Structure 1
């Protein structure tokens, strides 16, 4: 029989629980006790009590709680937060594995997608993944690049489909395909009949700038590389609005990367895309996940499907 030790007493006295860890993680991620309570469907007093119990169990102050400033983690709290995330994640995955009887994938999976890529990438991905793994609850969010990166780092999404423009150093990625910027005109624009266009020709023409990170940076860097400054007439945050404004005009143009097969605006007006010469640098569309997080079996299955769907290519 194993000999009783002081270490056993410490574990028993501490009464560390899964609920305490879950409540602490939620408070750290939400930044407030009230935010954690809303997310977990508990009362704020219950969440606060769980965290106090966890601090007592670990004999350490994990966070500073101020009514007006929310929750601030201490150095011990940051250490516990990182390890608690792994513990809770492993226990959760164990539960899903048991429910799947070691074979079928079971559980939730959330994928993020950059706003302009979503209409062409997500529908097929959702359909084929659900056909392969019907017991996985696959959902998605659509957003800007910085929003997706923050969601990955906060654990709000498991993976993301986005552009790699040199701002993904905190992520693991692999390439789906590469694309290049092009110029978009209404059918009656003077440059719509040209075979190709140059940035020098475009610099003096009013630009409808699709102002969404990282698209803005990509378009502006093309002009900067050639010592040019574009004439910005309008700024938009919506891809289809950009296309619609251009379609109705014989004077403005846009620079975009995503190239839909549909050559008409929402209103059904024709639009014309033209290659730019010399060709602008390519930009990669990537599947990404956080470097510090081991992907779940569901996220790995999604990555495998994406690799099957998109062998790396340039368009």
Structure 2
């Protein structure tokens, strides 16, 4: 068998360019000139006998071979880093980039509270948050663009491991000066005379609500339709109407304007979970953040 002779610097250079999708940004991260970085990538491609990156003056993208090799390269670097950190302080030395895909309703309040603690404990780890809809989050994880995700779909996907962390109900978001604000709970029938606002019918949250209301034979007619839950909250705060939103979309502490009222008959809920690819080993940095989010979900349930 021919000996593959490349060093750690070429591997690190490739991973940096792949994660940043930019030679310029990767060169800055590694404190190299762009020509020096290009030489390392070219040497690695020559040794492997395959092109790993397609690049133009404005764009850098992984080839099919590059996407496969990236996963192995990350795993190799993670194993080496983990071994080296065995005798030193992990919190002080752990570094790298973690990409997390997250549905916006969880990204607004739940995720930042964990990231604040994470950044304080692991200041050398960079985090990239991909805050998009449920289907986009699922695709980002299965395609490898995200290390893992926070989502409420994925339980039926054979290539995805779904770990439940939090079950939440949908609540009615209203202004604190609204006529319903003093109620301990409301039913969907109570919304008949309200200006009800909702997300688009292609939204995963809308599908959950429509399915639940179809079973109960009750439907709330939407006066406004938007793409994102956070837009709904802004419209509620502006006094344009009321909206059904996941509990985590509302502030974790008292808000000066918004409150959430339990919605009953029917009660609509969703299960939020951490999703990752089956058989994929997370890097040490990603594994730490995954564990903190898992623990935060447990705390939110209690």
Query: How does the TM-score come out when normalised to structure 1?
Result: 0.67
User: Equivalent residue for 2:198?
Assistant: 209
User: What 5-or-longer segments of structure 1 have no aligned partner?
Assistant: 1-6
With over 3 angstroms needed to count, the CA separation of the structure-2 counterparts of 1:220 and 1:47, relative to structure 1, is farther
User: Equivalent residue for 1:184?
Assistant: 173
With over 3 angstroms needed to count, the CA separation of the structure-2 counterparts of 1:166 and 1:72, relative to structure 1, is closer
Pairing partner for 1:294 from 281, 289, 298? 281
Contact 2:53 2:63 in 1 (8 A): yes
CA distance in 1 between partners of 2:56 and 2:228 (Å): 37
Pairing partner for 2:39 from 46, 49, 56? 49
User: Equivalent residue for 1:20?
Assistant: 10
Cα deviation code 1:166-214 (max 9, x no counterpart): 4783543322221111222345656556664444553664333356964
Pairing partner for 1:38 from 6, 25, 35? 25
**What aligned pairs does 1:266-281 form with structure 2 within 5 A after superposition?**
268-269=256-257, 271=259, 273-280=261-268
Contact 1:248 1:269 in 2 (8 A): no
With over 3 angstroms needed to count, the CA separation of the structure-2 counterparts of 1:262 and 1:24, relative to structure 1, is closer
Cα deviation code 1:67-125 (max 9, x no counterpart): 67754525x5454334333223323333333543xx76730374745444356535654
CA distance in 2 between partners of 1:98 and 1:49 (Å): 34
Q: Offset of 1:297 from its aligned partner? A: 4.2
2:298 alignment partner, SS class: coil
2:244 alignment partner, SS class: strand
Task: Determine which structure has greater relative contact order: mean sequence separation of CA pairs < 8 Å that are 6+ residues apart, divided by chain length.
Answer: 2
1:256 alignment partner, SS class: strand
1:117 alignment partner, SS class: helix
1:255 alignment partner, SS class: strand
User: Equivalent residue for 1:95?
Assistant: 84
The answer to whether residue 246 in structure 2 is matched with residue 257 in structure 1 is: yes
With over 3 angstroms needed to count, the CA separation of the structure-2 counterparts of 1:312 and 1:187, relative to structure 1, is closer
User: Equivalent residue for 1:59?
Assistant: 49
The answer to whether residue 81 in structure 2 is matched with residue 81 in structure 1 is: no
Query: How does the TM-score come out when normalised to structure 2?
Result: 0.69
User: Equivalent residue for 1:3?
Assistant: none
User: Equivalent residue for 1:230?
Assistant: 221
Q: Offset of 1:130 from its aligned partner? A: 7.5
1:180 alignment partner, SS class: strand
Cα deviation code 1:242-272 (max 9, x no counterpart): 34532553x72101112545564xxx34645
